[in-house]
C-alpha cells in the first residue's frame, strides 16, 4: 500500500485538492519509533549499542543451528541416542521454532517488543543451561524444544525492533545490513566454534556458550532499546492454536518425508501423510479464523501489499533452495567431501567455510548504501542471479575436485548473492508496515524461511539421496558384470560398496540437487522482477524539500487570508493526506474513517463530496475505501 510519503511523487495528485508536502501523515501509520531513553546528546552511540544487542541476539540464534550439528556424534555417544532418536535433537528445536514464530511476533506487537525480546533471551539461555547439564535423552530433547520456543520469540522481535529503534533511511538500512550479515555468517562461523569446542572442551559447551551471551544481552537490552507501545486487545487463541499447530506439523512432516541416505523414500509413510494432512486442515482453518477475527494473529492487511507479499515469496524460494539444501546438505555434503575426499580435519573443515561467512558480511555491508543508490529490486535480482550461478557452479563438482579450484569460487559467488538479497528483502518486508503489525510482519519473513527450509529439506533431499542410491546400484551392477567377464569372484551380498563408488555417487546425487536449487533461485529472481516496486526514494527516508515546504507555508497563509476559505482549505488538507492509490487501477482512494486496530480514523471533511465505493475486493486488507474520482 502506498503512503503519502511514497506516493506523492509517483502517483498523480487528487483533482481539485490543495498540494500537500510528501511527508504529510496519513491514517495508515508508517512504522514509528518510540523515543529512546536519554538519546539527547548520545543518540548515535545508543543506536550503535542497540544494533549490537540485536545483532548479538540474532547471531546466538543462528549459531545454535550449526554448532549443535557439529556436536551430534559426540552427543550420540554420550547419551546413547539411536540414529532415528538423534534426529530429534535437531527436529525438537525446528518444530517448536517454526511453529511458534507467528505467535512470538504477534506477542511482541501486543505486549511490547522489548519486553518479549528479553523474555525470549532469558528463556533461550535457561534452556541452553538445562541442555548443557543433560544426562538423559528426554532431558536434552526437552531443553531443545524450549530453546526453539525462545528462538521463536527472539527472531521476529529482533527484526521488528530494528524498525522500532532506527529511523527510516541510512540508519535503518545499515542496521538491516548488520542483521543480515549475522544471519548469513553465523551458520558458517558456528561450524568453526563447534569444531573447537567439541574437540578441545566438551559437547556440553555448545549449549553453555549461549548462557553468558543471552544473560548479558538481556541485561543490556532495556537500557539501549526503545520499547514499542503496548496495543489494546488480546491474543487470538483459536488462530494461535491452528497456526502454531499447522506450521509445526508441516515442518515436522516435511522433515520426516525426505528420502534418507539408504535411498528409501518416506513420503508414503502413515506418520508423514497424517502430519501433512492435519497441517493442511489446520492452516486452512487458520486462514478462515483470521479473516473473521476481530483481533487476528495474522491481519490479512499485512499480506495486502504486493511488495511485502513478494518479499515473503522470495524468502520462501531462497529458503527452499538454500536454507533447506544449502545450510544442511551444503554443509553435510561438503563436510563429507572435504573430510573424506580431501582428508581435512574437523577444525580445518570449519575454517574452509570461513570464505562463505566473509562473503555474506562484505555483500551485506555493500548492500546498505547500494539500496539508497539503486533501490531494492536490482539488488534482489542480482543477488538471486548470483545465488543461482553459485549453485550451478557447485553442481559441476566431481570427486576429483580441489578446494581452491572448485570450492572457493562458488562459495564466494553464492555468499555474495545471499548478502545482496538479505538486506533489501528485510527492508521491503517491513516497508510502510503499520507500527502495530511490525512484529507479525517480521515473523512472516522468519516463517517463510523456516517453512522453505523444511520444503527444501524434503524435496531436494529426496532428489539427492535417490540419485545417490541409483548411482550406487548402477556402479555396483557394472562392477559385478565387469568382474564376471574377467573371471574374478563377485563380492558377497550386503558388502558395502568401495569408497570410490560411494564418493562418485555422492557427487552425482548432490550435483543433481544443486541444479534444482539453482532453478528455484531463478524462480525467486522472476518473482522479484514481477512484484518488487519499492523505489530507492521510498527507502531513503528523505523528507520534503525545504523549497517545497516553504511554498506550502506561503500557500497556506494566502488561503487563510481569504474570507471563508479557512475551513475549505483544512478540509482539502485532511482529504489529501488520506489519499491512497487503488491497488487495481492506481486511482486515488480515501479512507472513510472506519477504525481498524491500532489506527486513528480520519474524519471525512465537511465540504468533501461523498465518492462512490471502489474495488470492494480489497476491503479485507485495508480500511473501507472509496474511489476519489467519479
| Other beta carbons within 10 Å of 497 | 17
d(CA 366, CA 386): 15
Query: Which regions of 229-282 does DSSP assign to beta strands (E)?
Result: none
What b/e sequence results for 139-169 when a residue is b if at least 16 CB atoms lie within 10 Å of its CB, and e otherwise? ebbbbbbbbbbbbbbbbbbbbbbbbbbbebe
Intra-chain end-to-end CA distance of the chain, in Å = 21
Q: Which residues are paired to 591 by β-bridges?
A: 625
pLDDT at 555: 44
d(CA 89, CA 73): 11
- Which three-class secondary structure string do you get for 601-617? CCCCCCCCCCCCECCHH
Inter-helix orientation angle 438-486/101-111, to 10°: 160
Which residues lie closer than 8 Å to 281 by C-beta, 6 or more apart? 246
Task: Answer positive or negative: Cα dihedral of 482, 486, 487, 491.
Answer: negative
The conformation of residue 30, written as its DSSP 8-state character, comes to: P
d(CA 371, CA 590): 30
Distances (CA, A) of 315 to 167, 377, 548: 24, 14, 39
Q: pTM value?
A: 0.69
Distances (CA, A) of 147 to 57, 137, 142, 354, 392: 13, 15, 9, 26, 35
d(CA 536, CA 394): 33
**Would you kindly state where each structural domain of the chain is located, as residue ranges?**
43-471+500-538, 544-627
Residue 475: enclosing H or E segment and its boundaries? Answer: helix 438-486
135-155 confidence digits (pLDDT tens)? 998 999 999 999 999 999 998
> What would be the CATH architecture of the domain defined by 43-471+500-538?
Up-down Bundle (1.20)
Spans of the chain, pLDDT less than 50: 1-41, 542-567, 569-570, 573-630
Minimal CA–CA distance to 180: which of 154, 166, 210, 159? 159
* Residue 580, SS3 per DSSP: strand
What length does the chain have?
A: 630
d(CA 216, CA 52): 12
d(CA 318, CA 444): 14
∠ CA 74-80-84, rounded to 5°: 90
Are 457 and 123 spatial neighbours (Cβ–Cβ below 8 Å)? no
pLDDT at 622: 38
d(CA 161, CA 170): 16
* Residue 367, SS3 per DSSP: helix
The conformation of residue 613, written as its DSSP 8-state character, comes to: B
Minimal CA–CA distance to 440: which of 222, 235, 169? 235
* DSSP of 280-332: HHHHHHHHHHHHH-SS-SS-GGGG-SHHHHHHHHHHHHHIIIIITTIIIIIHH
d(CA 289, CA 585): 30
Minimal CA–CA distance to 60: which of 253, 276, 203, 216? 216
| Other beta carbons within 10 Å of 206 | 28
Q: Which residues are paired to 626 by β-bridges?
A: 590, 613
How would you classify the pairing of strands 579-581 and 625-627? unpaired
Amino acid at each position: 500500500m502506498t503512503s503519502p510519503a511514497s506516493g506523492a511523487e509517483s502517483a498523480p495528485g487528487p483533482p481539485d485538492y490543495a498540494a500537500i508536502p510528501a511527508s504529510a501523515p496519513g491514517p495508515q501509520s508508517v512504522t514509528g519509533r518510540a523515543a529512546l531513553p536519554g538519546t539527547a546528546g548520545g543518540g548515535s552511540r545508543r543506536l550503535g549499542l542497540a544494533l549490537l544487542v540485536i545483532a548479538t541476539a540474532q547471531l546466538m540464534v543462528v549459531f545454535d543451528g550449526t554448532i549443535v550439528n557439529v556436536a551430534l556424534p559426540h552427543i550420540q555417544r554420550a547419551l546413547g541416542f539411536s540414529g532415528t532418536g538423534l534426529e530429534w535433537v535437531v527436529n525438537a528445536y525446528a518444530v517448536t521454532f517454526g511453529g511458534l514464530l507467528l505467535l512470538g511476533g504477534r506477542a511482541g506487537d501486543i505486549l511490547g517488543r522489548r519486553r518479549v525480546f528479553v523474555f525470549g533471551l532469558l528463556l533461550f539461555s535457561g534452556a541452553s543451561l538445562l541442555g548443557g547439564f543433560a544426562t538423559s535423552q528426554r532431558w536434552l530433547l526437552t531443553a531443545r524444544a524450549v530453546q526453539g520456543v525462545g528462538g521463536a520469540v527472539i527472531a521476529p522481535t529482533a527484526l521488528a525492533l530494528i524498525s522500532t529503534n532506527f529511523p527510516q533511511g541510512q540508519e535503518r538500512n545499515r542496521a538491516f545490513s548488520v542483521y543480515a550479515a549475522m544471519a548469513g555468517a553465523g551458520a558458517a562461523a558456528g561450524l568453526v566454534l563447534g569444531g573447537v569446542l567439541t574437540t578441545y572442551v566438551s559437547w556440553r559447551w555448545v549449549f553453555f556458550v549461549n548462557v553468558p551471551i543471552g544473560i548479558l544481552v538481556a541485561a543490556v537490552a532495556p537500557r539501549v532499546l526503545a520499547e514499542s507501545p503496548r496495543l489494546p486487545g488480546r491474543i487470538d487463541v483459536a488462530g494461535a492454536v491452528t497456526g502454531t499447530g499447522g506450521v509445526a506439523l508441516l515442518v515436522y512432516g516435511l522433515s520426516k518425508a525426505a528420502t534418507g541416505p539408504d535411498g528409501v523414500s518416506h513420503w508414503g509413510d502413515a506418520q508423514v501423510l497424517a502430519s501433512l494432512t492435519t497441517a493442511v486442515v489446520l492452516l486452512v482453518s487458520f486462514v478462515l479464523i483470521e479473516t473473521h477475527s476481530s483481533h487476528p494473529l495474522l491481519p490479512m492487511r499485512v499480506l495486502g501489499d504486493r511488495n511485502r507479499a513478494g518479499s515473503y515469496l522470495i524468502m520462501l524460494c531462497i529458503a527452499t533452495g538454500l536454507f533447506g539444501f544449502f545450510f544442511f546438505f551444503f554443509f553435510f555434503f561438503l563436510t563429507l567431501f572435504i573430510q573424506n575426499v580431501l582428508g581435512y580435519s574437523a577444525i580445518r573443515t570449519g575454517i574452509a567455510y570461513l570464505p562463505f561467512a566473509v562473503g555474506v558480511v562484505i555483500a551485506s555491508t555493500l548492500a546498505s548504501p547500494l539500496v539508497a543508490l539503486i533501490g531494492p529490486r536490482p539488488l534482489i535480482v542480482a543477488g538471486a542471479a548470483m545465488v543461482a550461478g553459485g549453485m550451478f557452479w557447485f553442481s559441476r563438482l566431481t570427486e576429483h575436485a580441489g578446494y581452491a579450484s572448485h570450492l572457493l569460487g562458488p562459495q564466494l559467488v553464492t555468499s555474495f548473492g545471499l548478502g545482496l538479497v538479505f538486506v533489501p528483502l528485510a527492508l521491503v518486508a517491513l516497508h510502510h508496515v503499520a507500527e502495530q503489525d511490525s512484529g507479525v510482519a517480521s515473523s512472516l519473513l522468519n516463517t517463510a524461511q523456516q517453512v522453505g527450509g523444511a520444503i527444501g529439506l524434503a524435496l531436494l533431499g529426496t532428489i539427492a539421496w535417490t540419485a545417490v542410491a541409483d548411482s550406487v546400484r548402477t556402479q555396483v551392477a557394472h562392477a559385478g558384470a565387469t568382474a564376471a567377464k574377467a573371471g574374478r569372484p563377485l563380492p558377497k551380498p550386503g558388502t558395502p560398496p568401495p569408497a570410490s563408488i560411494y564418493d562418485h555417487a555422492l557427487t552425482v546425487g548432490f550435483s543433481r540437487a544443486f541444479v534444482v536449487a539453482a532453478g528455484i533461485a531463478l524462480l525467486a529472481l522472476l518473482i522479484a522482477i514481477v512484484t518488487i516496486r519499492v523505489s530507492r526514494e521510498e527507502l531513503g527516508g528523505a523528507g520534503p524539500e525545504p523549497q517545497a515546504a516553504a511554498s506550502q507555508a506561503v500557500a497556506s497563509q494566502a488561503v487563510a487570508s481569504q474570507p471563508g476559505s479557512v475551513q475549505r482549505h483544512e478540509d482539502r488538507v485532511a482529504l489529501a493526506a488520506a489519499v491512497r492509490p487503488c491497488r487495481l487501477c492506481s486511482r486515488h482512494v480515501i479512507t472513510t474513517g472506519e477504525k481498524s486496530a491500532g489506527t486513528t480514523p480520519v474524519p471525512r471533511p465537511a465540504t468533501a463530496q461523498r465518492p462512490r465505493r471502489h474495488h470492494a475486493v480489497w476491503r479485507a486488507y485495508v480500511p473501507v475505501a472509496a474511489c476519489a474520482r467519479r
